[in-house]
Amino acid sequence: MLRRRPFLAAAGAALIAGRARAQSPRRIVTAINSPYDTLDPHTVFDIGRIATRLNMYDCLVRWVDNPPKLVLWLAEKVDISPDGLIYTFKLRANAKFHDGAPITADDVVFSMERILEMKKGGYSLFKGAIDPGKTKALDAGTVQFTLNAPFAVFLSVLAELWIVNSTLVRANDKSADFGAAWMARNTAGSGSFRLSRYDPAVGFQANRFVDHFMGWGPNPLDQIEYRTILETSGRVLGMLKGDFQSTDGYLPLDQIKQLRDGPNIRIDEAESIRTMYFILHNSRAPLNDINMRKALSYCFDYDAFNIQILGGSVARNAGIIPNTLWGAPADLKGYTYDIAKAKQHLALVKAPLRPLTIGILAGFGQSEQAAVLLQAGAAKAGIEIKLVSEPWSVIQGKYNDPDKTHDIIPLWRSAYFADPHNWTGVIYNSRNIGAGNASHYRNPRFDELTDKALLLTDQEARRPLYEEASRILVDDAAGIYVYNTKWFGPFTRTVKGVRFCPIGDAQDMRWMSIG
Amino acid sequence: MRLLALALRRFLWMPPTLLGLTLIVFSVSHVIPSDPARVLAGENASIEQVETLRRKFGLDQPLPVQFVRYVSDVVGGNMGISLYTQRPVATDLIERLPATFELALFAIALAIMLGLPLGVVSALMRNSWLDQIVRLVTIGGLAMAAFWLAILLQLLFSMQWNLTPVQGRIDGWGPDPITGFYTVDALIRGDLDTFLTALRYLFLPMMTLAIPAMATIVRFTRAGVLNVMNSPFVFYQAAMGLPRRVVIWKYILRAALIGTLTQIGLVFGNLLAGAVVVETVFSWPGLGTYAYNSILQSDYNAIMGFTLFTGSVFIGMNLLVDIAQAVLDPRGR
C-alpha cells in the first residue's frame, strides 16, 4: 500500500523529471501537419509525407540544394544513348539495404515494375514513358531502362523511383499485392535512417543507418523523429516550448514572426520553387475569351497581396515557372493591377457576362485572402464573383471535370521535380486535360513547344522552348500568376547543416547535426 | 421482469436505429462532390490511374449497390478498408479507441465530480453569490468554442506556467499496451513516472472536454434539485421533522438526479463526437484525429466506420441510461 507522503514525494520527483527530461543530444524532432498514414514509397507522391521516402529510401539520383541540383545517388555512373532512349546505370558497389543485403539491379527492376503495376504514387511520372518489362538487369550492378520515346525529364523523375528490397517485399507479399499491406506499415529501404518506431496516429522515428553508402560527416544525427501535429498553433507552440527542433517552412507570416521572437529559434530563409497562381477555366464561357482572362489578370492587386498582406514574404512571379529556375524568362512582363485596362478588355468580351465562382481551399487562409482581393478588384471592373469554400478533397475531386470545376481556383504548384516541365507541360499541355491540366487550356503552339522540349536532353536547347511556353501562357492569360514562395524554415539554434532543397523542403535529415 | 422487457425492447431498437444512421451518413458523405479515388491517386494522376482505384474500391458502382454491400459487410464484421491507411477500418478504430476512451472517461469523471456537487449547492443556495458565480461559469463553459478554450488552456498552462505539455499523449512513444489506457497500463506495471506523465498529458484535453460537460451537468442538476425542492413530498418530509440533511440526500437528490443521469449519458456520447476538435488541437492520437483526417481525405469507409462506432456508443449509452432510469424511477418501468 502506498503511504501518502512518499507517494507525493515520488509524484513530485516524477513530475520534475518529466519536465526536465532532456532531448537526446543528436536527435531532432520535427513537427509536420501531414499524417504518415502509410510508409509505402510507391503509393504516395506528395511533399507533405516526403520525409519517410527521403530518409528511409534511396533513389538512383537525388535532388540537393537550392537551386536544386540532380546528383547521382545510388548510381555512380549513367550512360544515355544518343537517341535518348536508353539509360544505363552502374550501381554503387557498397550500397546495402537496412537488413545488410546488397542493392542490386534486380531491386531496381522490381521497384520500377512495382510502380508500373500498382499505378499509384509516382506512377503518373513514368506512365507512357516506359512500359513494364522495359527495365532490365544487365548484371548485378547494372540496370538499363529503355524508353518508348525520348523523355527529357526521365532523369529528373527517377528521383521518385524509390528502390525497395525486392527479396524482403516478396517475402511479405501475402496476397499478390506486391507486398502493399506489409509495406504500408514497414520499410524495405536503404536510406540514411532506419525505421525504429511507427504509429500512423503519431508519426515515425528512425535511427541512423551507420552503413549507409554515402558515409557520414562529423556529429551526424543519431535519431530523427517526425510527429504529426495538425494544428499550426500546436506546431508553433511546440517549437517555442522546445518540444520540437524543427517544423514546416510554409507557416503563416504571423506565426513566423512569433517564432522569430522565440528564444533559441532561428528562421532560415530561401526562395523556393513553389508558385502561387489562379487556375482559370480556359474552356468555359466567358473565360474561354482571352479578353475576359486578361481583364481578370488586371483585376488582381499583386502588390497589395504580396507586399501588404503577405508582408513581402514572397517574391512576385510574373509567370508560372519559378523565377529561380531555368526556363523562366528573365524579361517576362506580367500583369499589373490596372482596373482601367481590365475594363478595356472586358468591353471586348463577346459572350454574355455571368457571375464567376472562385473555389477557395477551406482552411487555407491565404487562399481566401487572395480570392477576396480578386473579388474586390473584379467588382471595380464590373465582374461579379462568388466565393465558394470547399475542402481540398472536394476541389480536387471536381477540378479535372470541365463541367463541375469552379471558374477560378487559387492554388500552389509545388516542386515535384525541378524541371520547367513540372510547371508547364504537366499542368497546361492539352494531353493532360483531366490529368493535371485543371485549366482545361489548349494551345497547339504551347503543346508543340512542351512536347518538343521533352524530346531533347540538352538543357540549353530546352531553355528557349520553355521560355517561349511561359510567355505564351502570360500572353494568353491562361492563369493569374502571383508569386514564388519563400521558405522560412524554423529550427532551434542548435541545429546545424541544414541543406534546403525545394524538393523535400529541407527534410533530408542526413545533412544535419546538433551542436 | 418488467425491467428485462424494457431492456430487450430498447435493445431491439438498436439495429434499425443504426441502419437509419448508416443510411443518413452514407447519403451525406456520398453526395458531397468529392472524389476519393482522385484524392487518393493525387492531383497529377491520369484518368486511368483514378479509374483503376475507383474500380478497386468499388466506387464505380451505383450508390444503392455500394450501400447494400457496405451494410452486408458491416453485418459480417467488415467495415471496409480505409482508402488512406490501406488497413481495415475496424483495426484502425480499435487501435485508436483506448486513447479516446481514456480521455473521455477522465473528462466525464471530472465533469461529474465537479458538476454534481456544484449543481446541488447552487440550487440549495439559489440566488446567492455562489449561485451567481456557478451560473456565470456554466454559461461560459457552454458558450466557449472547444478549439478556443483548448488554445487558451495551452497558452496558460503550457506556455505561461509551464505546468503541462502543449500536446501529445506521452513523452516519446507510449509503453507497450496492455489495455491501451496509458494510466491504467502504468499502474499495472507499477510505473509511477509514466502514470504521472500520462496524467500531465491528459490534463489539458481533459479540461477542454470536461468544462462544457460539467456546465451541462451543473445546469441539469440545479434545475432538477430546484424542481424537486418544491415538490409536495419534500414539504411533507420536512413537515415530518426529518433533518434537512436527510431530506436533501435521501429524498431530493434521488429524485433530482434522474434527469441528470439522462444528461450524463448524452454528454458522454457528445464527448466522443467533441473529441474530433479537441484531439486535433492537442494532437491526441485517438478516434477524433482519425475522423478529422478521414473527412479531409474523403475516406468514406473511415468516416462511416467512425460514425457507426460513435453512433453505437451513443445508442448503447442511451440504453444504459434508460435502464438506470427505470431502476431509479419505478414510474418508467
**Taking chain B (333 residues) in consecutive chunks of 10 residues, what is each chunk's mean pLDDT?**
77 86 83 72 70 81 87 86 82 92 94 92 90 89 87 92 91 84 92 93 95 92 90 86 85 83 84 85 92 83 88 84 77 59
pLDDT of amino acid B299: 82
Cell of B162: 509551464
Place of cell 447494400: B68
pLDDT of amino acid B42: 65
In the predicted model, is pLDDT for residue A183 greater than 50? yes
- Mean pLDDT of the region A447-456: 94
Q: What single string gives the DSSP state of each residue in B193-243? A: HHHHHHHHHHHHHHHHHHHHHHHHHHHHHHHHHHHHHTSHHHHHHHHTT--
Percentages helix, strand, coil for chain B (3-state, rounded to 5) are: 80, 0, 20
- pLDDT band for A432, please (50, 70, 90 cuts): confident
The answer to whether residue B22 sits within a structural domain is no
The answer to whether residue B66 sits within a structural domain is no
CATH assignment of the domain containing A325: 3.10.105.10
Residue A515: CB atoms within 10 A of its CB come to 10
Provide the domain limits for residue B201: 95-332
Give dist(CA A491, CA A28) in Å, integer: 10
In the predicted model, is pLDDT for residue A62 greater than 60? yes
Total structural domains within chain A: 2
Same domain, A325 and A381: yes
CA atoms within 13 A on the CB side of B144: 25
Same domain, A467 and A506: no
Same domain, A411 and A293: yes
Q: Going by C-beta distance under 8 Å and a sequence separation of 6 or more, which residues neighbour residue A160? A: A45, A59, A121, A122, A125, A416, A417
The answer to whether residue B61 sits within a structural domain is no
pLDDT of amino acid A9: 44
Collect all residues of chain A within an 8 Å Cβ-Cβ radius of residue B39: 392-393, 396-397
pLDDT of amino acid B43: 61
Cell of A109: 527492376
CATH assignment of the domain containing B292: 1.10.3720.10
Give ipTM to 2 decimals.
Answer: 0.79
Percent of chain A whose predicted confidence (pLDDT) is above 70: 95
The answer to whether residue B37 sits within a structural domain is no
The answer to whether residue B46 sits within a structural domain is no
Same domain, A283 and A212: no
Interchain CB distance below 8 Å, B42 and A121:
yes
The answer to whether residue A237 sits within a structural domain is no
Q: What is the pLDDT of residues A320-374, one digit of tens each?
A: 999 989 999 999 999 999 999 999 999 999 999 999 999 998 878 789 999 999 9
pLDDT of amino acid B333: 54
Give me the total of CB pairs closer than 8 Å, taking one residue from chain A and one from chain B: 162
Same domain, A136 and A205: yes
Query: How far does B34 lie from chain A, in Å, by closest CA?
Result: 4
pLDDT of amino acid B1: 66
> Residue type for A78, please?
V
Collect all residues of chain B within an 8 Å Cβ-Cβ radius of residue A237: 154-155, 158-159, 166-167
The strand ranges marked E within A297-370 are: 314-316, 356-361
pLDDT of amino acid B261: 83
Provide the domain limits for residue A505: 27-216+493-514
Percent of chain A whose predicted confidence (pLDDT) is above 90: 72
Cell of A151: 523523355
Same domain, A298 and A386: yes
- pLDDT band for A16, please (50, 70, 90 cuts): very low
Taking phi first (over 0 means left), then psi (-120 to 50 degrees means alpha), and beta for anything else, what does residue A470 get? alpha
Q: At A121, phi and psi to the nearest 5?
A: 50, -125
> Residue type for A170, please?
R
Q: Going by C-beta distance under 8 Å and a sequence separation of 6 or more, which residues neighbour residue A458? A: none
The residue in chain B having the minimum alpha-carbon distance to the alpha carbon of residue A237 is: B166
Give dist(CA A84, CA A150) in Å, integer: 5
In the predicted model, is pLDDT for residue A3 greater than 80? no
- pLDDT band for A300, please (50, 70, 90 cuts): very high
Same domain, A318 and A209: no
Total structural domains within chain B: 1
Q: What is the reported pTM?
A: 0.84
As a whole number, the mean pLDDT across chain A is 90
Map residue A143 onto helix, strand or coil: strand
Which of A194-203, A219-228, A411-420, B320-329 is predicted with the least confidence, judged by mean pLDDT? B320-329
Q: Which has more confidence, B62 or A317? A: A317
Collect all residues of chain B within an 8 Å Cβ-Cβ radius of residue A229: 167, 283
Interchain CB distance below 8 Å, A200 and B85:
yes
- In 3D space, the residue among A400, A71, A202 whose CA is nearest the CA of residue B50 turns out to be A400
Q: Going by C-beta distance under 8 Å and a sequence separation of 6 or more, which residues neighbour residue B102? A: B180, B181, B182, B183, B184, B202
Which of A48-52, A380-384, B2-6, B9-13 is predicted with the least confidence, judged by mean pLDDT? B2-6
Cell of A371: 480570392
Q: Give A137's strand partners.
A: A143
CATH assignment of the domain containing A80: 3.40.190.10
Spatial contact of A349 and A291, defined as CB atoms under 8 Å apart: yes
The answer to whether residue B56 sits within a structural domain is no
The answer to whether residue A265 sits within a structural domain is no
Same domain, A341 and A446: yes
Crossing angle of helices A232-241 and A253-260, rounded to 10°: 10
Same domain, A278 and A382: yes
pLDDT of amino acid A20: 41
pLDDT of amino acid B142: 84
The answer to whether residue B39 sits within a structural domain is no
Give dist(CA B214, CA A450) in Å, integer: 64
Q: Alpha carbon of A327 to those of A151, A339, A421: distances in Å?
A: 17, 30, 9
- Mean pLDDT of the region A234-249: 92
